Amino acid sequence: MTSVLVFGFCVTVSLVLALGSVSAQPTRAFFVFGDSLVDSGNNDFLATTARADAPPYGIDYPTHRPTGRFSNGLNIPDLISLGLGLEPTLPYLSPLLVGEKLLIGANFASAGIGILNDTGIQFLNIIHIQKQLKLFHEYQERLSLHIGAEGARNLVNRALVLITLGGNDFVNNYYLVPYSARSRQFSLPDYVRYLISEYRKVLRRLYDLGTRRVLVTGTGPMGCVPAELATRSRTGDCDVELQRAASLFNPQLVEMLNGLNQELGADVFIAANAQRMHMDFVSNPRAYGFVTSKIACCGQGPYNGVGLCTAASNLCPNRDLYAFWDPFHPSEKASRIIVQQILRGTTEYMHPMNLSTIMAIDSRT
């Protein structure tokens, strides 16, 4: 989707208190894989058009400068780290990720990618998921040199992992243009089944690389983002076809995760119902303090959903009143709502358990 973190002590503490952190846990590493929803700046180091390295991105970040996050401020991985009392992870490509910083974990995500390697090819040089997994293996080799092979293995086994994939495989592949190559190759139901089968291989590879606690987010309401309202909706209603894609993909993802867990004999993979998390405030924005869930804070054209968010774009004065920051991505406030459900949500949001429960269970082992 078109779609160096340095916190002062006071900033970190205030953000943790604002989120209401889970009870103190022994420090554990956090690894992030996926697309622009969770990219913390890797694409800033790449020759790609999928970048968030210019104002007004980062306008509400503690430094008030762009960081490569597709947000006005903090993104979902940042907020998970802060909610757990962990230091936020650095992008893997950051030159600051050396020495003791390796113990925190790393963010491998890259804007524009999908489950499939042909997703996002228009963005040129991005880190496709197979490359992200190779970099994770490289990270473990670097970590082994720092703390030894056994220490590295234990750190990865105990780590928390977040992976967010799938949305781009629809909006930046299957539905990117009329009669796209993938839409000619597959009917939508067959395409979804193919995506799920390929995603299963990715997740199994993550397990083989040593991860044992993996949060897997489904797709959000793709047809309801301002970009799709601007290009595919005449009435302002969510696009039916993209919503149909999400309604096919998400249940099959949960079913696949359940099957993997049964095969492995443990709750390794945790499903986060991103569709439900988003639809709460998309369908009733005022209940969550937003004035709109249709119009992006930053953009141009109908619903501020056309093109990129740039210094020349329309920019709302109060980002907390908008569910969407730019044509595709949630505002920091919306991301906070999502992370609260990840941390404490019922089984309607997190299956088979939320992150607070995971942390409590893992603290006893």
pLDDT in tens, 253-272: 999 999 999 999 999 999 99
Judged by DSSP in three states, 46 sits in coil
**308 vs 354 pLDDT, higher one:** 354
Instruction: HSE, CB side, 13 Å, CA atoms: give it for residue 352.
Output: 12
Per the structure, the complete domain to which residue 254 belongs is given by 30-272
Grade residue 116 by pLDDT with cuts at 50, 70 and 90: very high
CB atoms within 10 A of CB 14: 14
How far does CA 256 lie from the centroid of its chain? 19
pLDDT at 215: 98
Decide if 23 is inside a domain.
no
pLDDT at 27: 78
Tokens 């781009």 correspond to 168
CA angle 149, 154, 155 (to 5 degrees): 100
Per-residue pLDDT at 5 exceeds 80: no
CA distance 329 to 332: 9
Tokens 């969510």 correspond to 238
Structure tokens at 241: 């076809």
| Backbone torsion region of residue 298, taken as left when φ is above 0, otherwise alpha when ψ lies between -120 and 50, otherwise beta | beta
Name the residues annotated as catalytic.
36, 326, 329
Structure tokens at 104: 């925190």
- Give per-residue burial for 271-306: e unless 16+ CB within 10 Å, then b: bbbbbbbbbbbbeebeeeebebbbbbbbbbbbbbbb
How confident is the model over 17-36, as pLDDT tens digits? 334 344 333 479 999 999 99
Decide if 118 is inside a domain.
yes
pLDDT at 111: 98
Decide if 170 is inside a domain.
yes
How confident is the model over 329-347, as pLDDT tens digits? 999 999 999 999 999 999 9
Mean confidence (pLDDT) of the chain: 93
Decide if 193 is inside a domain.
yes
pLDDT at 26: 44
Contact 273, 250 (CB under 8 A): yes
pLDDT at 4: 32
How confident is the model over 283-304, as pLDDT tens digits? 999 999 999 999 999 999 999 9
Q: What is the DSSP letter of 23?
A: S
Q: What is the CATH number of the domain that holds 229?
A: 3.40.50.1110
Alpha helices of 265-324 — where are they, by DSSP H? Answer: 274-283
pLDDT at 56: 98
Q: What is the DSSP letter of 58?
A: T
How confident is the model over 135-169, as pLDDT tens digits? 999 999 999 999 999 999 999 999 999 999 999 99
**196 vs 18 pLDDT, higher one:** 196
CA distances from 328 to 68, 179, 231 (A): 15, 22, 12
How confident is the model over 27-84, as pLDDT tens digits? 799 999 999 999 999 999 999 999 999 999 999 999 999 999 999 999 999 999 999 9
Q: How buried is residue 118: exposed, middle or buried, by Cβ count under 10 Å (0-12/13-18/19+)?
A: exposed
Element housing 215 (H / E): strand 214-217
Tokens 């967010």 correspond to 164
Mean pLDDT, residues 227-243: 95
pLDDT at 365: 78
**11 vs 328 pLDDT, higher one:** 328
Decide if 329 is inside a domain.
no
Nearest to 76 by CA among 244, 213, 217, 186: 217
pLDDT at 127: 98
Q: What is the CA radius of gyration of the chain?
A: 19
When divided into structural domains, the chain yields a total of 1
Element housing 216 (H / E): strand 214-217
Decide if 312 is inside a domain.
no
Decide if 308 is inside a domain.
no
Decide if 5 is inside a domain.
no
Grade residue 15 by pLDDT with cuts at 50, 70 and 90: very low
